Amino acid sequence: MLSYVPGDSLAHRLDPRTKLFVQVAFVLAAFAHTTVPGLAVLTVVALGCLALAGGSVRRTLWSYRYFLPFLLAGPLLEALTWGVPWVVLGDAVDPLLASYRVLLVFLVSGAYVRSTPVRDSRAAIQRLVPGKPGRLLGVGLSLVFRFLPVLKRDLFASRDAMRARLGEERPVHERMRIVATAGLNRAFGRADRLSVALRARCFAWNPTLPDLRFSRADAPAGTVGLLLVVWALV
């Protein structure tokens, strides 16, 4: 599974804001230059990003395997045609390039996920979105990160309990209802206890964030991002 891996690669040392900028710039460039030469250049950039984060292409793409059928469906369906000759390969070229650019974006976002710890991402969002909305997003994000494993365990427990009571015999919508009801109850129960705890500890709009500082390494990375944006616009 794709997740943060501690390390000391160049990508790990970059400021998360720079990495977010490079990602967005890459997407803009990939959508503006969905041609064979354009994607050839972007392939080099994407592989470079992943290498700088110490990630492997195979593992990154494997973590996106559930998206791959949709990447294939476009070109395959587009190549089919009603009547003779049934298959027109020429029609599949543009969708194929479009799918390939998404594959490249997966590599770049895989590099970000691998090299950026959660608390840095949270601090970056809180600095990028000004005022109270940014603070709500920041606190909300760290709570989501904290509670995902707990709620996953809750859901698995209720599914196992249902199985043990021969719940598999019930119709699908009944089973969805049972598992989701249990999940909701647990989530709301935890949320209410959490909000009492937050209020008891004087939950305020003034958070203490981890320090984020641009370093010398951010200059070349930021330049790559700028070049990608300029290239996307011309």
CA proximity to 34, closest of 88, 85, 101, 89: 101
Cα separation, 6 vs 17, in Å, equals 18
Q: Which of 184, 219, 227, 230 binds other proteins (CB under 8 A)?
A: 184
User: Does residue 63 interact with other proteins by CB under 8 A?
Assistant: yes
Find the shortest distance in angstroms from Cβ 188 to other proteins: 7
CB of 201 to other proteins, least distance (A): 10
Q: Which of 21, 49, 95, 224 binds other proteins (CB under 8 A)?
A: 95
Residues 201-220 that bind other proteins (CB under 8 A): 202-211
Interacting residues with other proteins between 159 and 178 (CB under 8 A): 159, 172-177
* Residue 63, CA distances (Å) to 58, 59, 87, 164, 188 in order: 9, 6, 31, 31, 31
Residue that has been written with the tokens 């587009």 in this structure: 78
Query: Using CB under 8 A, which of 10, 97, 217, 229 touches other proteins?
Result: 97
- C-beta closer to other proteins: residue 44 or 172: 172
Between 43 and 94, name the residue whose CB sits nearer to other proteins.
Answer: 94
Q: Hey, which residues between 21 and 40 contact other proteins (CB under 8 A)?
A: 23-24, 27, 34
**Nearby residues of 75 by Cβ (< 8 Å), 6 or more positions away:** 92, 95, 96, 99
Distance CA 182, CA 156 (A): 10
